[in-house]
Chains A and B, each alone.
Chain A
């Protein structure tokens, strides 16, 4: 029971060891302070690929596994929360570590492409010369969100142009004329609100609302000039006309202040008689979520602004696929096989995907399959409008490091919901956009 021979020096040794340990840690920290994934050497796994998808895109990856059993795929399901921050955090960590990236990823929010292709994370590969044939299959306006500084940095999964939706049964019954211009839409909305209180001509409460109205008007909220410069001017005439339209709609109580995804929307959704809205509204919102009977809703080409000769519209979502630029050899080859599959293969795009394919050549097959549902009042016309609308999506709208949609929900949507006027809420929207743009490091022009 004697204490093991502890020499007097032991204590000091322990203390010194601890200090050395701490210092070593600090030194190690110092060496990896840089953290750009830019200079990392490309690696080859020998063929196995890792794919990250949000829950709705899991079937795409599974269809790929079935079609290509020869390729070993590790499938990871990521948090699909739109506006979630965890994904961005993970990529920051991968860059610090110099490893860990997936080979292919579906971005839960379209805004993710801004950081994924940005100078700091710089994850997505330039696909321009890797899959030129696939890129040729996209209409320019559809692939535009992926075209960053002249390079194609992602592939579009589905197109989500806004068309103009209306309830044909209601219009026929009451003898209303389908509006052709945004101004007519405003006037008719006011009239309907007066003649049929409770009937709705739009929603302002969700993150896609600025896409429906401001993007459609060509309002510069997201006009990227370069990596660090953005043109952001809500006093632009194109913004003002959209704001005036909104003010008119809100004043007349012609629009609901809830968002299309809110639980409440299902209750009031049945009262929607017309609205600009994405192609996917038809199946996803009207049929599945709001359960509006078949044969009522129908879609036509987007509206035109007075004095312009072509329709102008926005775009709500339409997901993006990104692929790693840190790989080479067989791993890259298999990743590109995956890229081609999810972007173009009918086994996913036609058979399983619910959105209008972004890739032009498979659109007709998808339409033929969807049209069998005979849900819309004018089935053929609705699908023709969807396909045609992709060309009318307004240019000069990039996804950026600040999220215009979430600024909208925090300021405009919240303001309108609490009874503020459009003007007052608009000021808050403007201020917050400018602040966020600056906080993210943009120079606002």
Chain B
């Protein structure tokens, strides 16, 4: 573990293999992002050289956007999907934060009989893949006649056990028991201790929970697929992208033949790229908190 290392064969092999893996990861993504800025003619002719980088032009983006957002009988479906995704992802994230903070605090700093049981349920639901429950959730939402509406999706997304676990860890680490005891001695009730002291020191965990919830909600596919398919106006962008693929002449020529917009690979890549921008935005916004809370956040992965 000395600071100055010579270029031993072992070190060389390590650096080379790490760079090799990095290239395997980055080249497809670079090519894909470049694809969003290319023209279909260029793609078909194979022009543009390495990854088609030479084919990039802003005019292509403008054309592709007109195609992507022209999808739908009157056009504009894509923006509608983005809005819907924003509503359910943000709504679900807000609910998750509102529920997770007090719950995490209660489990970390209050003693009550069902504490271990609630913690266990939280942990188990946290590590289970969430698609397992989608069909039962569909049956439940169907029973109250709310299939096709956005609010049940946001509500269900608000159930975010990982967020509860994060705030549980947060209060374990940042709020010493003595502080709680002291506040109690000052005559504060349990709820007030949380309200006046717990919330004060919760900025970090609010950002973390909101970030992870938003990302999970934004990329959720199966839940909106089962709950929102019946309402064309209320679909999210993840379901919408699937429709764009289905309407691409690359995979479905008969359908695409009658479509007034043409969705080839550059258009699909652009739509995907745009659908990732909100994630990029929240990532940049949450970045400094993420790095600080890395080990905690890492547990879920």
Do A and B form a real pair? yes
Could you list which residues of chain A lie within 8 angstroms of chain B, going by C-beta atoms?
A: 1-4, 6, 25, 28-30, 32, 53-59, 61-62, 75-82, 84, 86, 89-90, 93-94, 96-97, 100, 108, 261, 263, 284, 288-289, 317, 354
Is B142 within 8 A of A56, CB to CB?
A: no
The answer to whether B253 and A93 touch across the interface, beta carbons within 8 angstroms, is no
Are B196's CB and A261's CB within 8 A?
no
Neighbouring A residues of B148 by C-beta, 8 Å: 93, 97, 100
Within 8 Å of chain A (Cβ to Cβ): is B250?
yes
Choose one: B142, B145, B229; the contact of A90 (CB below 8 Å): B229
Query: Within 8 Å of chain A (Cβ to Cβ): is B296?
Result: no
Kindly identify which residue among A2, A56, A75, A84 contacts B254, using a CB–CB cutoff of 8 Å.
A56
Known: A93-B230, A94-B230. A263 touches B73 (CB 8 A): no
Tell whether, in the assembled complex, residue B192 and residue A284 are in contact, meaning their CB atoms are under 8 Å apart: no
Does B134 sit within 8 A of A, measured CB to CB?
Answer: no
Task: Kindly report which residue of chain B lies nearest to residue A102, judged by CB atoms.
Answer: B232
Residues of B within 8 A of A76 (CB): 73, 232
Q: How far is the CA of A322 from the CA of B25 in the complex (A)?
A: 48
A108, B73: Cα distance in complex, Å: 16
Question: Which B-chain residue is minimally distant from A30 (CB atoms)?
Answer: B143
Which of A1, A75, A80, A81 is in CB contact (< 8 Å) with B192?
A: A1
A32 and B140 CA atoms in complex are apart in Å by: 11
Given contacts A6-B189, A94-B230, contact A28 B252 (CB under 8 A): no
> B255 contacts A80, CB within 8 Å?
yes
Seen from chain B, the residues whose Cβ lies within 8 Å of a Cβ on chain A are: 71-74, 77, 139-140, 142-145, 147-148, 186-192, 196, 225-226, 229-232, 243, 246-247, 250, 252-260
A123 to chain B, nearest CB (A): 13
A97 to B250, CA, bound (A): 36
From B187, B229, B257, A86 is in contact (CB under 8 Å) with: B229
Q: Are A25 and B188 in contact (CB under 8 A)?
A: no
- Please name all residues of chain A whose beta carbon is closer than 8 Å to the beta carbon of B145 when the two chains form the complex: 32, 97
Whether A2 and B192, one on each chain, are in contact in the complex, defined by CB atoms closer than 8 angstroms, is: yes
Q: Kindly list chain B residues whose C-beta atoms are within 8 Å of the C-beta of A29.
A: 139-140, 143-144
Chain A residues within an 8 Å CB radius of B147:
93, 96-97
Given A1, A28, A30, A54, which contacts B187 in the complex, CB threshold below 8 Å?
A1
Contact of A4 among B71, B191, B255 (CB under 8 A): B191
On chain A, the residues within 8 Å of B188 by CB distance are 1-3
Q: Which of chain B's residues have a CB closer than 8 A to the CB of A58?
A: 73, 258-260
Q: Across the interface, do B255 and A55 meet the contact criterion of CB distance under 8 Å? A: yes
Q: A55-B247, A80-B247 are in contact. List 13 more A-B contacts (CB 8 A).
A: A2-B188, A32-B145, A55-B255, A58-B258, A59-B258, A61-B73, A78-B232, A93-B229, A96-B147, A97-B142, A100-B148, A263-B250, A317-B254
The contact of A3 among B190, B246, B254, by CB within 8 Å, is B190
A82 to B196, CA, bound (A): 59
A74 and chain B: residue at smallest CB distance: B73
Q: Is B258 in contact with A55, judged by CB distance below 8 angstroms? A: yes
Neighbour of A81 across the interface among B229, B255, B259, CB < 8 A: B255
CA distance A76 to B246 in the complex (A): 16
Choose among A79, A261, A263, A317 the residue that contacts B246 (Cβ–Cβ < 8 A): A79
Complex CA gap A58/B259 in Å reads 8
- Contact partners of A4 in chain B: CB under 8 A: 189, 191-192
Closest B residue, CB atoms, query A97: B145
B71 contacts across to A, CB distance below 8 A = 77
Q: Hey, which chain A residues are within 8 Å of B257, CB to CB? A: 56, 284, 288, 354
Bound state CA distance, A399 and B100, in angstroms? Answer: 52
Cα separation A61 to B258 with both chains bound (whole Å): 13
Query: Quick check: A3 and B139 within 8 Å, CB to CB?
Result: no
Note all chain A residues with C-beta closer than 8 A to B72.
Answer: 77
Bound Cα distance from A29 to B141, whole angstroms: 9
Complex partner residue of B230 from A32, A84, A90, CB under 8 angstroms: A90
